[in-house]
Amino acid sequence: MTTTIPETGLALHSLVTEDGVLELSLVDVAVPEPKANQVVIRVEAAPINPSDLGLLLAGADLSTATVAGSADRPVVTASIAKSAMRALTARVGTSLPVGNEGAGTVVAAGTSPEAQALLGRTVSVAGGAMYSQFRCVDVALCLVLPEGTPAKVGASAFVNPLTALGMVETMRREGRTALVHTAAASNLGQMLVRLCAEEQVPLVNIVRKPEQEALLRSLGAVHVCDSSSPTFMRDLIAALTETSATLAFDAIGGGTLASQILTCMEVAAAASATGEYSRYGSTTHKRVYIYGGLDRGPTELTRSFGFAWDIGGWLLTPFLQSLEPEKFQRLRSRVADGLESTFASSYTKEVSLSAALQPDAFSVYSLQATGEKFLIAPHH
Amino acid sequence: MTTTIPETGLALHSLVTEDGVLELSLVDVAVPEPKANQVVIRVEAAPINPSDLGLLLAGADLSTATVAGSADRPVVTASIAKSAMRALTARVGTSLPVGNEGAGTVVAAGTSPEAQALLGRTVSVAGGAMYSQFRCVDVALCLVLPEGTPAKVGASAFVNPLTALGMVETMRREGRTALVHTAAASNLGQMLVRLCAEEQVPLVNIVRKPEQEALLRSLGAVHVCDSSSPTFMRDLIAALTETSATLAFDAIGGGTLASQILTCMEVAAAASATGEYSRYGSTTHKRVYIYGGLDRGPTELTRSFGFAWDIGGWLLTPFLQSLEPEKFQRLRSRVADGLESTFASSYTKEVSLSAALQPDAFSVYSLQATGEKFLIAPHH
């Protein structure tokens, strides 16, 4: 270990107490000596993704959130509804580090040649606990960025890029040829627009505001439907008829949008079907994967779309586990090559670990508004 | 053709008019001369299954139903909500015969030896248009019943028995080992209790009333959970923990039951899981197939069951089409052998074609109350 590494570093932790309180705080964590095949990363940039918020916020009622502690060591508390506590049993009383992914500089390395080779390099990692000043991980977890790439460019090299690639790959595996995506103006949505253009996959983008439609059209998106428009259902049917999309990835989860998508897919399928009336709807199989929960309310399905449909959860990790190792490596390399183009991310704000727990930041990113994307810089 | 066959027979038809009116009536239909490989069946018994009601009732608002016409030729009319008409476009203006299955005597046969061999035999058919006095079908569609079997015994030889067998087969295909079934006191539910006992498949039965629980327990059902009980969720979690059931077949569709089942499956899975807390829920994949729509209201999913889940439509016909022909034949034979035991049906009322359209019958079977099962006897 070099002398630039302190014995401890700060890390953002989330704790659920037995009496139903969420507590977010900064804790001092020892920086471990790396084992032979490990490296210590000085984390310089870690995004706050929607997929981080489940662990971070534990479904707490954020209208009850208060901040105490000092400016350097703020402590956020909020209460958790009794009904939400059942699903949290396994984490009660355990202070958990947060942050799925991030990037930084390798400042210490174990004795193996593989570990030593990374000294001084910028690497991206999806190792969990990335809202930390220092993180010790196995070499195999590191995605080495091209020389000179700033950590900020590599901060979001896993979750969004691999999710976008996973959507296209899932579509192909299922023998489908086009995609629907909701909350499509997000960082991930913009990435998917670029990726689908490259891959020549027809993509129907669903957004919630006219300005989001304008943004996506400026990126070259062909099919953009605004769910706030009075002509939304008609627009969506037209786009689905044109693209023959029968698979949607939905980041919203709650409300009626998934049901509306299935209904419009069914209308598009019935319109193109020939033959006699079927009392059970079309034979075209329609599917929606829910991969996020921007709306935590219930999903409401009218089932006005026959019987050839399903809706289910989709998660990145099991998808990645289903890939052959070589395929996974190809996807990772593709991301590394495209971090400043296809897979580029943008952030609206950079905050330090302590600033991330202050009300002005906390109240913004916890809302999960499309267009608001925070980056944590743990050493600021 | 023998002289006992009239030139026409009555058939129950369902019509949706352009201005959104459902019209049910009896029409005179010519009895066709059978082709070489066809037979004419004098239909003696045809059940009113929940799966018939979609075509029969077309989602009409039954509170508006009125009966006109004569006692012999009643005409039921009811209005259809505008929102429901979109899905009906393909059938507007076409008078459609109804009745998925039934049984009767072969009274005329084509010239082929196969057709001639059936003369005088009782056969079951799932050929559609079975609420008819006479039905001309291909020999291949006929399930020949053991000599002396009354038509009434063979009336329900397809939909319920093959659905019960299909549930067990689907479970096995997916590598699962136990089942959950809702509306479990139905004729189909009782069949499934007997079938699962024979096959040694653990079955969790969900009913809506204490008397239905008593009925199923009297049949030997081991796990019965009453959704009207204040301890329902706790009971269901206990049954799911004991059986490790991760697959449910739901006949109800609307409301929160499917979501409750997934939630309880997740609690059962989390309780038996070892290892660290996962923010995304258990890795146990939980599935609900909706195969009916006793509650036509929206399905409400709270998504309090992680990401390893899905819910979708399940239909008998595509399942049967997915079977190898030999397998399908084996299932059919098994049903024929078990029509008075495993696959026996019971009916609360027998009605003629005209009586089926009278308010006292119509208002009962259209409600789809569990325990009410009607049989149409077209020659009464």
Encode pLDDT of B137-169 as tens digits. Answer: 999 999 999 998 999 999 999 999 999 999 999
Q: Are B282 and B243 in contact (CB under 8 A)?
A: no
- Model confidence at A1, pLDDT cuts 50, 70, 90, reads very low
Residues of B with CB under 8 A from a CB of A: 54-55, 86-87, 89-91, 94, 96, 253-254, 259, 266-267, 270, 276-281, 283, 290-291, 293, 298-304, 306-315, 317-318
How far are the Cα atoms of A98, A165, A244, A282, B252 from residue A273, in angstroms, in the given order? Answer: 49, 31, 12, 8, 28
Inter-chain residue contact A303 with B253, CB threshold 8 Å: yes
Q: Which residues of chain B lie closer than 8 angstroms to A299, CB-CB? A: 300-301, 303
The average pLDDT across B117-128 equals 95
Tell me the one-letter amino acid at A353.
L
Q: Which two tokens stand for residue B266?
A: 């997740």
Q: Where are the alpha helices (DSSP H) in chain A?
A: 50-57, 82-85, 113-116, 151-154, 159-173, 187-199, 210-218, 232-243, 257-272, 316-321, 325-337, 359-365
Q: For chain A, give the percent of residues with pLDDT over 90.
A: 84
Q: What is the CA radius of gyration of chain A?
A: 22
Chain B residue with CA closest to A277: the answer is: B90
Residue B1 confidence (pLDDT) above 50: no
Inter-chain residue contact B277 with A310, CB threshold 8 Å: no
Q: Which residues of chain B lie closer than 8 angstroms to A322, CB-CB? A: none
| pLDDT (0 to 100) of residue B277 | 64
Q: Are B328 and B320 in contact (CB under 8 A)?
A: yes
Q: Are strands B21-30 and B122-125 parallel, antiparallel or unpaired?
A: unpaired
The model carries a pTM of 0.89
Dihedral angle at the C-alpha atoms of A351, A352, A354, A359, nearest 10 degrees? 0
The average pLDDT across A76-84 equals 92
Question: B303, B309, B311, B321: which to substitute to probe chain A, counting the most A Cβ within 10 Å?
Answer: B303
d(CA A79, CA B65): 52
> Burial of B153 by CB count in 10 Å (0-12 exposed, 13-18 middle, 19+ buried)?
buried
How far are the Cα atoms of A51, A118, B113, B158, B334 from residue B148, in angstroms, in the given order? Answer: 65, 84, 21, 19, 18
Q: Which residues of chain A lie closer than 8 angstroms to B320, CB-CB? A: none
Inter-chain residue contact B303 with A280, CB threshold 8 Å: no
Q: Are B252 and B227 in contact (CB under 8 A)?
A: no
Q: Are A307 and B314 in contact (CB under 8 A)?
A: yes
Q: Which residues of chain A lie closer than 8 angstroms to B276, CB-CB? A: 90
Give the single-character DSSP code of A83: H
Q: Which of A345, A347, A349 is nearest to A158 (CA)?
A: A345
d(CA B246, CA B227): 18
Q: Which two tokens stand for residue A34?
A: 């790396």
A218/chain B closest Cα distance in angstroms: 33
The average pLDDT across A55-83 equals 93
Question: B307, B309, B320: which to substitute to probe chain A, counting the most A Cβ within 10 Å?
Answer: B307
